[in-house]
Amino acid sequence: MSSESTTTPAQQIAAGYATTGATLDLGSVVIDGAVDPAAQVRIPLAMMNRHGLVAGATGTGKTKTLQVIAEQLSVAGVPVMMADVKGDLSGLSRPGESSDRTLQRAKDTGDGGWVGAPFPVEFLSLGTGGIGVPVRATISAFGPILLSKVLGLNATQESTLGLIFHWADQQGLPLLDLKDLRSVITYLTSDEGKETLKTIGGVSAQTAGVILRALVNLEAEGGDTFFGEPEIDPADLLRVDAQGRGVITLLELGDQAARPVMFSTFLMWVLADLFTYLPEVGDVDKPKLVFFFDEAHLLFTDASKAFLQQVEQTVKLIRSKGVGVFFCTQLPTDVPNNVLSQLGARIQHALRAFTPDDQKALSKTVRTYPKTQFYDLETDLTSLGIGEAIVTVLSERGAPTPVAWTRLRPPHSLMDTIGPDAIKAAAQSSPLFAKYGQTVDRESAYEMLATKLAPPPQEPVDLPPLLPTGIDLPPMPKPQKAEPGVLDQVMNSPAFKSAMRSAGTVIGREITRSIFGTGRRRR
């Protein structure tokens, strides 16, 4: 870009967003309340796997920003996974409606050819109680760390749960749903299993009992509809449609509203599962998937140290798998510093500063931005209009772009919900519904332990026939003991029995646990 074209402050800022590759166009630079449609603010598509943050108070336009980003990713052939807690993003499946306000916003932001357009959307629900395609995870795959977060366990209880998972893996007891884990803990705390419990290092009956009660409470709140099979296949989140557009997967809360932490923790499990599933690709021209965490504060509130370390590690490493992660929340301070430092794109909508805590959060937010000669961020962050944000991203060479007060583009899809009936109809017509619509309950730990603890069947007793009295019978000769054959000798040998026990255990416990303690039983 020539020096003559960078004469105004808006154009000087926009020069920092110039790029040679594919981009996502966010909007135009605002200086002193005036917008310059030619001063474009963009994110290089190749930088979308460097993660990001979309933050701002309620009603400031965060959802529409997510909509704009998701639309452009889809057009670029990049699949998107988004949490849709309130159902506000369902309009992505319908074309937007033209209005004077929308057309003026499009003109102001350099999108003069605006026309309404729908995008390919899949509607999923967490568990079987929602209106979308039901998605589940098995207890084994979910892992002890994430389950501890859902159950609200402390560090000691989390460690105990990890040992119980390890014991079940070793014994070849598949933990598929809540009743499987309940039956394992019930067995270990029963008279039959208390000796076994002593062999699991550091597990007390009292702590196991606390975990058992937490599981019962989770089940009462509908958690049993989420854990089970068929488990979501990560490949179904990485699809494109017949036109080459990335499929946008929207996950709604379903019946888990009583425990919203389940929602955010499930998203973390999907991310960890993708990490295990995807190969290393390094830096790519466009990401394999972009993942949006809505209500991200739920993920970090009251999280254990182990949990936070695993989130940090997952976010750090999954970039090399071609996955971008965007956290969406009200305050940047909702995200721990170690995670925040890894987020290359920052889209900050208006903040409120009504209380001393709000003011403190505002000051911390300002310090995370590069220095700028054009804005007073402490003032401007509270003055942004709806659909405006303070933006900085990573340029093509990986350096932070100049801070830009940005008026964001309007979405091309419908800026409204389409209603539960339409969502349900779309979900039931999806090919995924045939795959995930019916719950499968195969033999697992619950049935195995029930069989083990069942009393043995009573053998029928054959009574000898009555003999007339007074008759002396000769003694019966003792039967000759047959010599065991070669096969009998081998099968009864201690070495053979030991080998078979080992083989049975290995076959039953083919569970690979990786990041976050998550794992899948090998097919």
Exposed, middle or buried by CB within 10 Å (0-12, 13-18, 19+), for 355? exposed
β partners of residue 129: none
Residue 250 CA: distances (Å) to CA of 49, 88, 423, 425, 437: 19, 10, 10, 15, 16
Is residue 149 located within the same domain as residue 129? no
Look-up of token digits 């081998």? 490
Domain contains 205: yes
Out of 196, 225, 254, a domain closes at 225
Domain contains 477: no
Q: What is the pLDDT of residues 417-458, one digit of tens each?
A: 998 999 999 999 999 999 999 999 889 999 998 887 766 666
Q: In this predicted structure, what is the pLDDT of residue 410?
A: 96
Domain contains 101: yes
Out of 395, 429, 463, a domain closes at 429
Nearest to 70 by CA among 81, 60, 54: 81
Q: In this predicted structure, what is the pLDDT of residue 495?
A: 44
Out of 200, 225, 250, a domain closes at 225
SS3 letters for 146-188?
A: HHHHHHCCCHHHHHHHHHHHHHHHHCCCCCCCHHHHHHHHHHH
C-alpha 488/C-alpha 9 separation (Å) is: 91
Is residue 391 located within the same domain as residue 372? yes
Q: In this predicted structure, what is the pLDDT of residue 506?
A: 39
The residues, any chain, with a CB within 8 Å of residue 88's CB and separated by 6 or more, are 63, 416, 417
C-alpha 119/C-alpha 248 separation (Å) is: 8
Is residue 285 located within the same domain as residue 422? yes
Is residue 264 located within the same domain as residue 145? no
* pLDDT tier at 468, thresholds 50, 70, 90: low
**241: Cα within 13 Å, side-chain hemisphere:** 16
* pLDDT tier at 523, thresholds 50, 70, 90: very low
Domain contains 450: no
Q: In this predicted structure, what is the pLDDT of residue 260?
A: 73
With 80 as the cut, is the pLDDT of residue 476 above it?
no
The residues, any chain, with a CB within 8 Å of residue 156's CB and separated by 6 or more, are 207
Domain contains 515: no
With 80 as the cut, is the pLDDT of residue 522 above it?
no
Is residue 187 located within the same domain as residue 235? no
Q: Which position has the higher pLDDT, 519 or 289?
A: 289
* pLDDT tier at 478, thresholds 50, 70, 90: low
Mean pLDDT, rounded, of the chain: 85
Asked if 116 and 95 count as a contact pair (C-beta separation under 8 A), the reply is yes
Residue 415 CA: distances (Å) to CA of 59, 184, 312: 13, 48, 33
* pLDDT tier at 520, thresholds 50, 70, 90: low
* E strand spans, 276-344: 289-293, 323-329
Q: What is the pLDDT of residues 29-56, one digit of tens each?
A: 999 999 999 999 999 999 999 999 999 9
| Residues 268, 301, 164: CA angle, nearest 5 degrees | 60
Is residue 240 located within the same domain as residue 314? yes
Q: What is the pLDDT of residues 236-286, one digit of tens each?
A: 999 999 999 999 999 987 655 556 778 888 888 999 899 989 999 988 899
Is residue 62 located within the same domain as residue 179? no
Order the strands of the 34-44 sheet from edge to edge: 34-44, 23-31, 404-408, 388-392, 345-348, 52-55, 323-329, 289-293, 80-83, 248-252, 121-126, 133-135
Look-up of token digits 């019978």? 473
* pLDDT tier at 87, thresholds 50, 70, 90: confident
Asked if 114 and 106 count as a contact pair (C-beta separation under 8 A), the reply is yes
CA dihedral 156, 159, 165, 168 (to 10 degrees): -80
Is residue 318 located within the same domain as residue 211? no
Phi, psi (degrees; rounded to nearest 5) at 489: -65, -45
Over residues 139-151, the mean pLDDT reads 92
User: Percent of the chain at pLDDT above 70?
Assistant: 85
Q: In this predicted structure, what is the pLDDT of residue 307?
A: 82
Nearest to 347 by CA among 70, 56, 67: 56
What residue type is assigned to position 458 of the chain? Q
Q: In this predicted structure, what is the pLDDT of residue 456?
A: 62
Domain contains 22: yes
Is residue 95 located within the same domain as residue 163? no
Q: Which position has the higher pLDDT, 242 or 462?
A: 242
Tokens of 343: 């987020």
Q: In this predicted structure, what is the pLDDT of residue 509?
A: 43
C-alpha 25/C-alpha 69 separation (Å) is: 8
Is residue 278 located within the same domain as residue 424? yes
Domain contains 469: no
* pLDDT tier at 496, thresholds 50, 70, 90: very low
Q: In this predicted structure, what is the pLDDT of residue 308?
A: 86
Domain contains 498: no
Q: In this predicted structure, what is the pLDDT of residue 107?
A: 95
Q: What is the pLDDT of residues 172-224, one digit of tens each?
A: 999 999 999 999 999 998 888 888 888 887 688 889 999 999 999 888 887 78
With 80 as the cut, is the pLDDT of residue 365 above it?
yes
Using DSSP's 3-state secondary structure scheme, residue 78 falls into coil
Is residue 126 located within the same domain as residue 186? no
* pLDDT tier at 497, thresholds 50, 70, 90: very low
Q: In this predicted structure, what is the pLDDT of residue 504?
A: 40
Using DSSP's 3-state secondary structure scheme, residue 45 falls into helix
How many C-beta atoms surround the C-beta of residue 453 within 10 A? 13
- What is the C-alpha R_g of the chain? 30
Residue range of the domain that includes 240: 8-136+229-429
Exposed, middle or buried by CB within 10 Å (0-12, 13-18, 19+), for 42? buried
Pairing of strands 404-408, 23-31: antiparallel
With 70 as the cut, is the pLDDT of residue 124 above it?
yes
Number of domains in the chain: 2
CATH number for position 312: 3.40.50.300
Q: What is the pLDDT of residues 498-512, one digit of tens each?
A: 444 433 433 334 456
Is residue 270 located within the same domain as residue 198? no
